[in-house]
Structure 1
Amino acid sequence: MIKKWLAIFSFSLFSIALLAQEVRVKIDTNAILIGQQLQVDIDFTFPSNLQGFFPHLPDSLGPNLEVVAKTKIDTSEKKGITNFHQQLKVTAFDSGYFVLPAFSFGYKNMGDTNLSILVSDPRLISVFTVAADTTKPIKPIVGPLPEPYTIMEFLPWIVLALAIGALLFVAFYFYRKRKKRPLFKKAEQQLPAHEKALDDLARLRLKKLWQAGKVKEYYTELSDILRIYIEERFQVAAIEMTTSEIVEGLSSHQVNDQAMQKLKSSLELSDLVKFAKANPVALENDTCLNQGIDFVNETKLVETEQKTEEVENVE
């Protein structure tokens, strides 16, 4: 009696285990037009204590059915039952009756090598063509759609527009600048050579270079001021000449001996400091600058009397 009940109980468990594995393939329609899509929902359920295997579905389900989209396999578990779910979008590009093939699913006990297989039922799909409307005239074939423009096609025009804009801006800038410029330029009033030299000598004194220990810099600047004055006043290339050459070059000009001696004394002391590293005393530093000022004042070009005579002649 006990053996009988054990047999019944074992058979019941076996039946429940068999019922627990299930494959469901559901389609939303079995008839479509060419190019339309139908939805296929695939579910595979099995006890959670088993290991299930969902098939890898290719992009073509036979020669006529194409998978245009598919979701990832979704796994869920409820009350000891695991469910695998995947959704497909299937279409066909030819008319006729096509079979959605059967799909094979596997399951086995954990650690077991024996694999059991469940196979879904195939489905028949009807694909129809669109009926032509014979009451309307045949329309010409629509040409290919134009491709969208790329940035490289616009780039030459952008560069050209920027170049034209830049040229217009430059032209406008110079036009405005020229418009503001007077027709006849006023002659720039240049300081006479002696005024420039006296201003430079006054600034040199205010710098107090030799008092700060910059004796060589002091005498170099003093020598340069005097040489520039001689070049502008007498048109003698004094900047490129030695002291003796300057004195010789001024000999043909009306420079009195006293002024010449002051110039020579200042330039010679400057040469000694620059080239022989002489170190004059404070009195010599100040005297050298004063001699330069005296030379400029005694040799400056005075035009006052000439201008006065011209004014009187006009009156």
Structure 2
Amino acid sequence: MRSPLAAAAALLSSAALVAGCGLESANTFTPQAEPGLIEPVADEGAEITVGTKNFTEALILGKIAAIALQAAGFEVVDRSGIPGAAPARAAMLDGEVEFQWEYTGTGWLNYLGMPEGIPDQQEQYEAVREADLANGLTWLPPAPLNNTYAFAVRSEAVEELGGIDSLSDIAELPVEERTFCVESEFATRGDGFEPMLEAYGIPLGDPQGVPRDNVSVLDTGAVYTATDEGACNFGEVFTTDGRIASLDLTVLEDDRGYFPAYNVAPVVLTDVLEENPEIADVFAKIIPRLTDEVMIELNSRVDVGGETPADVALDWLVSEGLVTRG
């Protein structure tokens, strides 16, 4: 989802990736729903193509968008499951996708190539919104949901580690307790693990900071499992991942504001939004309801409970009164 170091090269080949893999996938089923708080507002025959990347949260959000837009009277073409950030971005720039959820930090760092993120959520949104207008894309206001990086510890170890609750507290621990599990991308990013340790005064490779032997580089899913099992004290996580709750992990506060904001926001082709300004009204009803806590629960229902993104999205929209079952 976030790999700015490779973004430029990936974007150059993204058109080929889209053409080779296609935008259709097994995720394109969208259940029908009737209006609720979201009322019919679209002109007759108005059509919009909704795209998503192919990870759980993106698929759920994509279904929320597709169902809501259908209830609002749009004919929705659902292009869920685009294989990766670069092809997803290219699909919008090429006009193959007209609506997509995106993360402010991803837009700023990956797509626009800025050297560093902005921790303040509103400032990050305003910066990426203004910059991306030149690309024919309009970012609608973001949700409270901020799916950024974090480090978590198994909850039963919090007291064993002196009641730790922030990243700054790690520097107070004995060196042998400063053990980390991270994924390979984060371990090597210019804005990732090593600069984070520098920012918190425990530099990587320093015997008085974090010795390299204290760090395990694992696949993303394995990071969560290893942290839960105590193979390391601190595991890299995404803050809205459903496995945080299911494994009873405690997320540490980023008290020095190292990590940039990754609030999710609807992104619409500017000319499409100008022709259909009611799109903004539809999402104004949805956006304030999408919090970290809500997304953790919805992600967990898919990743832990085995439900489909479409069913989870419809259930949530109905529970909020935004739509009714068709």
Q: TM-score, normalised by structure 2?
A: 0.18
Larger radius of gyration: 1
User: Which structure: greater strand fraction?
Assistant: 1
Q: Normalised by the size of structure 1, how large is the TM-score?
A: 0.18
Greater RCO (CA < 8 Å, at least 6 residues apart): 2
